[in-house]
Amino acid sequence: MTRAKIYCITILILIASVPWFFFEGGAEHFLGLPVWALYSLAVTILYAVAVAFVLQRFWPLLAGDTEDEADA
């Protein structure tokens, strides 16, 4: 996986964490929290897991090594 793909994936997940489609002002609640807050929390947890995976799997690539050295 290239550096550009890694950055694109993490940025897209981060953008998805913003509850854009909850602007209609619905007052729906689940477990005492607004639905938009639960959505944002769930995607934020997904983002944290994705970043942890990327750091664990591709750290040499992000640290400045070439892609050939990172795969070895």
pLDDT, residue 23, reads: 64
CB 51 within 8 A of CB 12: no
Residues of the chain with pLDDT under 50: 72
DSSP result, 16-70: HTS-GGGTT----EETTEEHHHHHHHHHHHHHHHHHHHHHHHHHHHHTT--HHHH
Rounded Cα–Cα distance for residues 71 and 44 (Å): 29
Quick one: CA dihedral 31, 35, 39, 40, positive or negative?
A: negative
pLDDT of residue 45: 92
Note the pTM of the prediction, 2 decimals.
0.66
